[in-house]
Amino acid sequence: MKTPVFKGSCTAMITPFTETSIDFKRMGELLDYQEKNGTAAVLIAGTTGENATLEIHEYEQLVDFCVRYLSGRMKVIVGIGGNNTISCLAHAKKAEAAGADAVIMTAPYYNKSTQSGVVEHFTYVADRTELPLVLYNIPSRTSIGITLESYKQLAKHPNINGVKEASGDFSLIARTVACCGNDLYVWSGNDDQTVPMMALGAQGVMSVASNIIPETVSILCSLCLSGDFAAAAHIYYRYADLFAKLFIEPNPIPIKAAMGLMGMDSAIMRRPLTQISEGSLLQLAESLKGAGLIY
């Protein structure tokens, strides 16, 4: 039986930028904020961290900095996803050398591989790194999903630990938990689906919202893990509108805008992502006010 990389809340961290580089001072402050508020793990250089716009040297610097800065205070999971399997392995090797605890990898986008290709994509990397590998199923981004049959095959690999499930397909999620059990752990990839997914057996969430409400997301997960879903749902209802508004435009545009409104980040985006529209910003601000996060 495998041991899950983490249980509870993992924050899919933004990458704070200056106009020309990564803002490492702010990154350290954000990591401290997560650690002080009960976050179990952080996901570095994922989609929320704008990994597609990081230069190779920036990626390496970011991973090295976060691992060294945290020094074991929280688990560090590193994003290595891409549509070039060899490049994904190279990123995994960098994460391994830096001392990360695990890596996470999307299904290959754009190439339009078969499910056989999807399985080989993940297996090739899992065979060649010592780090636990977390799969990431987000067909809205990649245009290709991971099927139950693929999950069954991948669960047999000793180095494939689980999956961040953001497909929204609850039938797939339930059947995966039923078929794979502790051979393939499941985490929610959507803040608005954490409670029902944990009711089905998910181990926690890889959260965007916990960039700004880490303690709340951590408590919500702890309640679910203890079986108190009624109390967890009560918290969810309070933040349901915010969970929705944080995706009013493509992630991470709204979460960076929210952090800007809260004084937590400069909200600088890297092209091709742009600043949030005025209309969306007004709706986001109202939602933050409703949640008591700004006044």
**Closest C-alpha among 179, 79, 83 to residue 134:** 79
Q: Of 59, 136, 236, 239, which is the active-site residue?
A: 136
Q: How far is CA 28 from CA 13, 68, 70, 74, in A?
A: 11, 10, 9, 13
Of the residues 94, 151, 164, 256, only one is catalytic, namely 164
Q: Where are the beta strands (DSSP E) in the chain?
A: 8-12, 41-44, 75-79, 102-106, 133-137, 160-165, 185-188, 204-207
Alpha-carbon distances, residue 74 vs 167, 210, 287, 291 (angstroms): 27, 14, 30, 27
Q: 256 catalytic, yes or no?
A: no
Distance between CA atoms of residues 175 and 186, nearest Å: 11
Strands 204-207 and 8-12: parallel
β-strand partners of 105 = 135
Quote the CA–CA distance of 287 and 231 in Å, as a whole number.
22
Active site residue 136: yes
Active site residues: 136, 164
